Amino acid sequence: MHGEDTHPDVPGVPAPEEPTVQEPTEPRAPLPPKPDQGAPAPVSATGRGPQDGAAARSQDGAYLTNAQGTRLPDSDHSLKAGPRGPVLLQDHHLREKITHFDHERIPERVVHARGAAAHGVFESYGAGAGISRAAFLAAGARTPVFVRFSTVLGSRGSADTVRDTRGFATKFYTDEGVFDLVGNNIPVFFIQDAIKFPDVVHAAKPHPDREIPQAQSAHDTFWDFVSLHTEATHHTLWNMSDRGIPRSYRMMEGFGIHTFRLVAADGSTCLVKWHWKPKLGVHSLTWDEAQQLGGLDPDFHRRDLADAIEAGAFPQWELGVQVMPDTPEQTFEGIDLLDPTKIVPEELAPVRPLGLMTLNANPTNFFAETEQVAFHPGHLVPGIDITDDPLLSGRLFSYLDTQITRLGGPNFAQIPVNRTHAPVNDMLRDGFHQDAVHPGVAPYKPNSLDGGCPFFAGAEEHAFVEHPLPVAESKKVRESPASFADHFSQPRQFWLSMTPVEQEHIIAAYTFELGKCREPAVRERTLLALARIDARLCAQVADGLGLPAPEGETVEVDPSPALSQLGARWPVAGRTVGILTGPDTDPEALAAVREAALAADLVPLVVAPSGGDPDRVQRSFATARSVEFDAVLLAGTPGPAADATPVRDARAAGPDDTVDPRIALLLGEAWRHAKAIGGWGEPARDTLTAAGLPADGEGVVLGEDPVQVLREVADLLAEHRVWKRFPAPGGGE
Ligand code: HDD
C-alpha cells in the first residue's frame, strides 16, 4: 500500500497499488523436449543463430521479446500521449500483440473437433513380422507414437461424456515414415461410401437454423437420415449401446474399421482388421452418470487421461489384427470385407496381438500438439496397403484436403507434432508457412544440376511400393455391390450378443433419443428399423414413446459373445475409491485402508465433513459427488457435522437426519449406478440404513477388518459394476 502517496502524473489521484503477486523474474529451466518435438536441422539463411521455431520461441529466455527477437521494456501499457491521452497509431508493439491475438484461432476440425491426446511408445512383439514388412512391426522395434482421442459431433468446447462415437487416431513415427491409424472406438461406420459423408455429418450436426442440439445425435435431422439410410443401423445401434458413453479413453477399444492389406517381405499378402485392446478392459459410464458429468465435469475424459499419465498410471493397449486370406472375392465366411458397416466376429477370426502401446507423456502445449496434429489414412508405410473399400478411398482424399484449410496451407507436415522421424528429401517447395530454407537448385526430376539427386528407392531400400493388385475389368457405375444391401443381420447379431443389462441400456438410449425427435414420421420409421433388429427392442422403445410397435422380419444369426462388455474381470489400477469419513472415523483404520488402496494402484479420495487435515482429505461433503468414484467406502458415520452448513435442498433430501443429506445423495447415486459399497463396524451399517439402502444388498461389503473390506470391494471393481443391481431400484437406468 502507498498510504497517502499520490499519483506521480495525475495530481490528486492516489498512486496505483503495487501488485502483491509478482511475476517470476528469474528464467525457468526449459522443459525437456519430447521425442517428436525435435527441431528440423536448423537451416539458417544468414548462418547465424537458431532459425527453428521450437528452439527460438520456447519462452525460456530471460527477456520478453517481440516476434522479431527485439527485447521489450513493457507489455502492459499501450503507447499513449500522456497517461490519460490517446493511444498512438505508431505503437507497433500493441499492433503486433493484438494482430497476433486476433488470428490465434484456427478453424476447428469439421468433425472430431473436441479431443485430448498423449505421447507414447509402441513396442512390437514381432508377431506381425511374418505378414508385414513394416519395420515397426519387427521384433523388438520401439516406435514413438502420438494418440488423439475425440468425440465426433461436438465443437471444441463441448462436453466429454456425451453419447457419441469416439475417435482413436494414432500416429506412429516409424523409421520408414509416418503411419497413421485413424480409427474409432466402434468397429463399423455409418456409411459404406465416402460420398455420403457430408450427408451423415450434416444430418448429425446441430440444426442449421438454431445450432441445437450440441454434441449429440438426439434430434430430428440425425434420425431422419439414419432411418431413411438403413446402412447406418449397425453403427447407430453401437452408439445407442454403452460403447457410446465410455468410462474413460483408457478403457476403450479402438478399431481401424476398414480391411487393410498387409504385404510381407516375400510379397505375400493377407487382409486384416486392426484392433486396439485396452489393458484396463472396456468399460462405460451409466447414462445418468454421463448426464451429471456433462455439468459437473465436462472435461471428465480429458482430465482422466492427463491425470492418469501424470500420476504414472500409463494406459496401455495391445495392437492386434484379425487375419483373413487375400482372396479375389475379398470376403470371409460370407462377410464382405470391403463393407465398412460389417465386422468379422472374433469367434471366426481371433485377434492376434502384434505389440503394446503405452501412453507415457502428456502434451506440453495443447494447441501446438493436440490441435495441430494432422492425421491422414494415406500416411502409410511399406508393408501396409489399402483395399478398395469405397469409404477408405474417399478418406484418402479428404484428410489431406482438410488440413490445408485447417492448418493454413500445404506445409502442415513441418509442424513439430507432424514431423516424421525419418529423413525427408522431398521436392515439395514454397507455400504458406514454409519453414525450411531448401538448398539446391533442382527440385525436379530428372535433373543433372543437382547430380541427379535424390535417387529413387526400390522395395529393398524401404520404398512404399503399391501392391500390384489386378484391377477387375468392368464398366463405370455409381452403385454398390449386392452384398452391401444387408443392413440388418449384423445389428441383430450385436443385439443378441448383449447381456440383459446391456439390452436395457440400449432400449433406454433409443427411447431417450427418439423422445427428442418432434417429427412423428421420423420416430415411426426408426421403429420400423428396430423391428427388423428385434421385436422386444422395438416393442419396448415404442412403449416408452407411447407408440404402437410395428412388426418386422428378422434374420437368423449367431451371437458373438466377444461383443459384450460384461463377463470378464479386469485390472483395477487407476480406479477411484471415495472414503467417506465422519467424527468417529478411526484414523488408524483409515490410514491402513489408504495404504492398501495405494498398494493396489487404486486412487483413494478421502471425503470429510469439513475442516479436515488438508494432507489427508481431498473432498468435503460440499464438494464430493458420486460420479468421480468407482466405489465407495464408509469409514465412520458421515453424519451432519456440527460446523457444516446444513444442506436441505431438494437434491439432498436425506431420508434420515442421522446421515448428512449430501452423503445420503452420494450413497444413493453410488447404489443406483451399481457401484460397489463397503464399510466396517456398526456406523457403516447404520449409515446405509439411514440412507435408505439395504445393508445386505448386492455388492455391499460390510465387515470388521477394513483392509479386508477394501480387498473385497476391489474384487467387485474388477467386474467394473455390480451388474446384478440393474435395473436400478426406482428405475434410474
Ligand atoms: Fe474421419 C477426422 C475417424 C470416415 C473425413 N476421422 C477424423 C478423426 C478420426 C476419424 C478419429 C480425428 C482425427 C484427429 O484426431 O485429428 N473417419 C474416421 C473413421 C472413419 C472416418 C474411423 C470411417 C471408418 N472421415 C471419414 C470419411 C471422411 C472423413 C468417410 C470424408 C470423406 N475425418 C474426416 C475429415 C477429418 C476427420 C473431415 C476432420 C479433421 C481431420 O480430418 O483432420 O477429413
- Cα 425 from Cα 369, distance rounded (Å): 24
The correct answer on CATH 2.40.180.10 for the domain covering 115-193+241-418 is yes
491 pLDDT tier (thresholds 50, 70, 90): very high
Q: Which of 47-61, 97-111, 270-284 has the highest mean pLDDT?
A: 270-284
Cα angle: 277, vertex 282, 287; to 5 degrees: 150
Residues 6+ apart with CB under 8 A from 146: 36, 117, 118, 119, 120, 170, 171, 173, 369, 373, 417
Considering only CA atoms, which of 381, 239, 249, 375 is closest in space to residue 317? 249
- Percent of the chain at pLDDT exceeding 90: 79
In ligand 1, which atom is closest to the CA atom of 184?
22
What mean pLDDT is reported for the chain? 89
In ligand 1, which atom is closest to the CA atom of 398?
44
Residue 10 clears pLDDT 90, i.e. is over it: no
Mean pLDDT of 60-76: 85
- Cα 148 from Cα 301, distance rounded (Å): 12
CA of 406 to the centre of ligand 1 (A): 13
Residue pLDDT, tens place only, 690-701: 999 999 999 999
Residue pLDDT, tens place only, 230-259: 999 999 999 999 999 999 999 999 999 999
In ligand 1, which atom is closest to the CA atom of 148?
15
Domain map of the chain by residue range?
A: 1-70+91-104, 115-193+241-418, 576-731
What ipTM describes this predicted complex? 0.99
Mean pLDDT of 21-36: 45
* 406 has binding-site annotation: yes
CA dihedral over 514, 517, 520, 522, signed as positive or negative: negative
Residue 376 clears pLDDT 70, i.e. is over it: yes
Q: DSSP 3-state assignment of 243?
A: helix
- Cα 176 from Cα 206, distance rounded (Å): 41
Q: How far, in Å, are 503, 622, 640, 642, 664 from residue 611 at the CA level? A: 45, 12, 13, 11, 20
Beta bridge partners of 384: 262
Q: Does 439 sit behind a cis peptide bond, omega within 30 degrees of 0 on the bond before it?
A: no
Tell me if 269 CB under 6 Å of ligand 1. no
User: Which pLDDT score, from 0 to 100, does residue 69 have?
Assistant: 81
In ligand 1, which atom is closest to the CA atom of 401?
44
CA of 267 to the centre of ligand 1 (A): 30
Tell me if 399 CB under 6 Å of ligand 1. yes
Pick from 11-25, 337-351, 459-473: least confident: 11-25
Residue pLDDT, tens place only, 79-118: 999 999 999 999 999 999 899 899 899 999 999 999 999 9
Tell me if 396 CB under 6 Å of ligand 1. no
Beta bridge partners of 178: 173
Mean pLDDT of 378-397: 96
Tell me if 407 CB under 6 Å of ligand 1. no
- Percent of the chain at pLDDT exceeding 70: 88
User: Which pLDDT score, from 0 to 100, does residue 346 have?
Assistant: 98
Residue pLDDT, tens place only, 398-440: 999 999 999 999 999 999 999 999 999 999 999 999 999 998 8
Q: DSSP 3-state assignment of 402?
A: helix
Residues 6+ apart with CB under 8 A from 247: 283, 284, 285, 720
8 pLDDT tier (thresholds 50, 70, 90): low
Tell me if 116 CB under 6 Å of ligand 1. no
The DSSP 8-state label assigned to residue 207 in this structure reads P
Tell me if 390 CB under 6 Å of ligand 1. no
Q: Pick 498 or 18 by higher pLDDT.
A: 498
Give residue for cell 465410455.
Answer: 246
CA of 375 to the centre of ligand 1 (A): 8
Mean pLDDT of 161-187: 98
CATH topology of domain 576-731: Rossmann fold (3.40.50)
Tell me if 184 CB under 6 Å of ligand 1. yes
Which residues are catalytic, by number?
Answer: 112, 184
* 133 has binding-site annotation: no
Pocket test for ligand 1, best of 106, 275, 399, 405 (most atoms within 8 A of CB): 399
* 148 has binding-site annotation: yes
Considering only CA atoms, which of 583, 656, 670, 687 is closest in space to residue 624? 670
- All three cell numbers of 555, joined, read 434374420
